[in-house]
Amino acid sequence: MPAIRIACIATGLLAAMAPAQAHPDSVAIDVTAEIKDRCGFTGTAPTSVDAPRDLEDAASLSIKVGLDCNTPYAVGVTSENGALVNLDASDDGSGYAFEKKYRVAIALETDRGTVRSERCRSNELSADGRCDFAASRAGKGLKSGRGISVGRDAIITIDWPAQSTLPRRLAAGRYKDTLILVVGPRG
């Protein structure tokens, strides 16, 4: 909590108000103020991102999400499905894959430098997942250390390998997953 100290020179009026001191020459007045913790995303965050046209090709996407945290904080990420899932068809035993797992990493830009996570697989991004930043509660997940982020970004990197490096080809269709990000002061 910041504190401001103001020293005032005593005048005859202040001297009359302090009869216990015969001739005071100064009075100290402590003035304190408080700035409340705040932490959230700014309105510049994208709500959806289009992946490259062909999901069978390797890809890497970087998404910036604005932060406004004046106190140390943490960012948590969870995946709704644990993979990009086919919206148009379900597994029919044809031998094709109907979901595509991917990896996620986070970088937090703070006033003390950038804090980076390890990459986690999408299926590890559940609230009780093995990923260090998997969290669904504000203030849990990747910690900013002692840094704050006012007017800075969290950068979410999503990548996946070429399907030719995996055992099965993908079935035709549209694929989707939702990443849920939470941010808050560390408790």
Answer yes or no: is pLDDT of 23 > 80.
no
Q: Which two structure tokens, joined as six digits, stand for 44?
A: 């510049």
Q: Which two tokens stand for residue 186?
A: 């560390």
Can you tell me the mean pLDDT for 131-137? Answer: 94
Among candidate residues 177, 75, 55, the one with its CA nearest the CA of residue 134: 75
E runs forming strands in 80-166:
84-86, 99-100, 103-110, 113-116, 120-121, 142-143, 149-160
Averaged pLDDT, 114-138 = 93
pTM of the model: 0.80
In the prediction, which pLDDT does 19 show?
53
Tell me what percent of the chain is helix, strand and coil, each rounded to the nearest 5.
Answer: 5, 45, 50
Domains in the chain, start-ordered, CATH in brackets? 3-32 (no CATH), 39-185 (2.60.40)
Tell me the C-alpha distance between 171 and 96, whole Å. Answer: 5
Q: Report the alpha-carbon distance of residue 61 to residue 82 in Å, rounded.
A: 17
